[in-house]
Amino acid sequence: EVKLQQSGDELVRPGASVKISCKASGYTFTNYAMYWVKQSPGQGLEWIGTIIPLIDTTSYNQKFKGKATLTADKSSNTAYMELSRLTSEDSAVYYCARRDVGKADYWGQGVMVTVSS
C-alpha cells in the first residue's frame, strides 16, 4: 500500500524557518517524483515545486523560489520541504503528493503550519 506520512503540525514564529518531512512507503521512492502543494485557509491549491529523488532535480513555481527548498533522502525514502523567513502569508496546509505522469495519485495527510508570535 502506497503511503505518504507527513510530519506533525507546526507553530512557528515570524521570520523563522520550518522543515516538513514526507516519508514514502509501499513503492520504490526513486521511481517517482514528488509534488509539494500549498492550501491556504479557505483557499485553493498552489503548486510549490517538484523534486525527482533519483537525480535530485527540482523545479519550482517562481512564486516560491527563495521561500521553499525541496530535498530528498533516498536512504530513508523521505522528501523534505523547508520554508524560510516565514510570515503570516505562509500559514497554510502543505501537502506532498506522488507524481505519476502528470497526476498526483497519492497525497500525504497534510501539515498545518501556523505562523504566529
Fill in the amino acid letter for 81.
M
Residue selected from 68, 95, 113, 115 as contacting another protein according to rule CB under 8 A: 95
The reply on whether position 91 binds another protein by CB under 8 A is: no
The reply on whether position 63 binds another protein by CB under 8 A is: yes
- Tell me the three cell numbers of residue 16: 523563522
22-41 residues near another protein, rule: CB under 8 A: 35
Residue selected from 62, 75, 89, 117 as contacting another protein according to rule CB under 8 A: 62
The reply on whether position 3 binds another protein by CB under 8 A is: no
Tell me the backbone φ, ψ of residue 52, rounded to 5 degrees.
-105, 100
Taking CA atoms, 35 is separated from 13, 16, 24, 82, in Å, by 26, 23, 12, 14
- Tell me the three cell numbers of residue 109: 495527510
The reply on whether position 94 binds another protein by CB under 8 A is: no
Cell numbers 510530519 label which residue? Answer: 7
The reply on whether position 8 binds another protein by CB under 8 A is: no
Separation of alpha carbons 24 and 67, rounded Å: 24
Binding residues (CB under 8 A) for another protein: these are 35, 44-47, 59, 61-63, 95, 97, 101-105, 107-110
